[in-house]
Amino acid sequence: MYNNTIIYIFNRLIRLAILFFILYLIFTNFGTFMIIVGIFVLIIAFIIYNFKKKMKANSFSFRFDSSQFQNGTNFDFRDFNNFNNSGFQGFANAPRFNEVEKAKEFFGFTHSPTKEEIKKRYKELARKYHPDMNGGNDEKMKELNNYRDILMKTVE
């Protein structure tokens, strides 16, 4: 009976020692891991802080008011949408030269046509190419509409 008790206590002590050893390994390795992670986080935070500090020191700010115009007129940059709606056509809206030439050739013009001439010729060609009339070609009608838009942009 005495031997069984000693063996039982000895087994319990060994199990307890193994448990504490495993816990020691887990927590010491985890602690070391957490220290390393903490050091990396501090280094990254320091780098970001210095980068922001440098960017703030070298920052460029642009301020603009209407008094900087030479003629002193009040100009509002939000009015650009109004310019586009009121007929102002910038370079982005202008058709390319070769497109204009193709459009003139398609319509049969050798000169710069007026709006009335474009409209009249468009109606004639629409009767000819419309897909619902005379077995017209759908692709030709799309081409006709595209070229009409190009020519209308070139006419003032």
The listed range with the strongest mean pLDDT (22-26, 82-86, 92-96, 124-128) is: 124-128
CA separation for the pair 123, 142 (Å, rounded)? 14
Question: Can you say whether residue 134 is alpha, beta or left, with left for phi > 0 and alpha for psi between -120 and 50 degrees?
Answer: left
CA separation for the pair 141, 147 (Å, rounded)? 10
Span 100-126, pLDDT tens digits = 888 888 888 888 888 899 999 998 888
pLDDT of residue 68: 56
Beta strand residue intervals within 19-143, DSSP E: none
CA separation for the pair 135, 130 (Å, rounded)? 8
More confident residue, 80 or 26: 26
pLDDT of residue 86: 46
pLDDT of residue 133: 75
Beta strand residue intervals within 53-118, DSSP E: none
Span 3-46, pLDDT tens digits = 778 888 888 889 988 888 887 877 787 777 777 878 888 999 99
Percentage of the chain with pLDDT > 70?
70
Flag whether pLDDT at 92 surpasses 60: no
| For the chain, domain boundaries | 68-154
CATH class of 68-154: mainly alpha
Flag whether pLDDT at 51 surpasses 80: yes
- The answer to whether 100 and 150 have CB atoms below 8 angstroms apart is yes
